Amino acid sequence: MLDEKAKKTMLRKIPHGLYICGVRDGEEMNGFTVSWVMQSSFKPPLVVNCVKQDSGSHAMLEKTNVFTISFLEEGQKELAQQFFQPKRRVGDKLEKVEFYEGAETGCPIIKDSLGYIECKVVGKVDQGDHTVYVGEVIGSGIHREGKQLLLESTGWHYGG
């Protein structure tokens, strides 16, 4: 029998960084906070990015099969928080944030981040309430050195 409290406690102990995932469909762009990201292969360089299925950004990603991941720095909790709300509720989340378009994907990259990767989707798994996207890294860059923002340092809980 599954102990719900123990499950929730233990799953929340899995360490997660906080990132802004950028997507684009034609002229429409969006960014949203993600934490379920990890590297999954060296050759080719692959990452796994899990995206909630009931979001507009999920629909954009399904259509275009490209995304960016901007790596946030310790102390950028407020920036991560800006991108948690659904676009349909808060409007253009990129309006007050400096970004530029990735050379490989055209997706938004947060200028005030540690750096980024650009990915094309090469596989996916639709299970539960998130889609697990496997993205091949096709572009990357470093903006500056620094320590990455971690979910556990924010006091927030996402998971369990």
| Domain assignment present for 12 | no
| Whether the predicted model's global pTM rises above the 0.85 cut | yes
Domain-embedded: residue 71? yes
- Structural domains in the chain (count): 1
Determine, yes or no, domain membership for 159: no
Q: What's residue 87's pLDDT?
A: 57
Q: Residue 104: which domain range?
A: 17-35+55-118+138-144
Mean pLDDT, 10 residues at a time, over the chain (160 residues)?
A: 89 89 95 95 97 93 98 96 70 86 98 98 96 98 96 77
Distance in angstroms (rounded) separating the CA atoms of residues 148 and 32:
17
In the chain, the largest separation of any two C-alpha atoms, in whole Å, equals 50
Show Cβ contacts of residue 91 under 8 Å, excluding neighbours closer than 6 positions.
none
Query: What is the domain-level CATH number for residue 104?
Result: 2.30.110.10
Q: Residue 13: enclosing H or E segment and its boundaries?
A: none
Query: How much is the pLDDT for 90?
Result: 47
27 contacts 101 by C-beta, under 8 angstroms:
no
Which residues have a Cβ under 8 Å from the Cβ of 40 and sit 6 or more positions away?
A: 46, 47, 48, 134
Please indicate, yes or no, if residue 83 is contained in any of the structural domains.
yes
User: What confidence score (pLDDT) does residue 157 get?
Assistant: 72
Q: Note whether residue 50 is domain-resident.
A: no
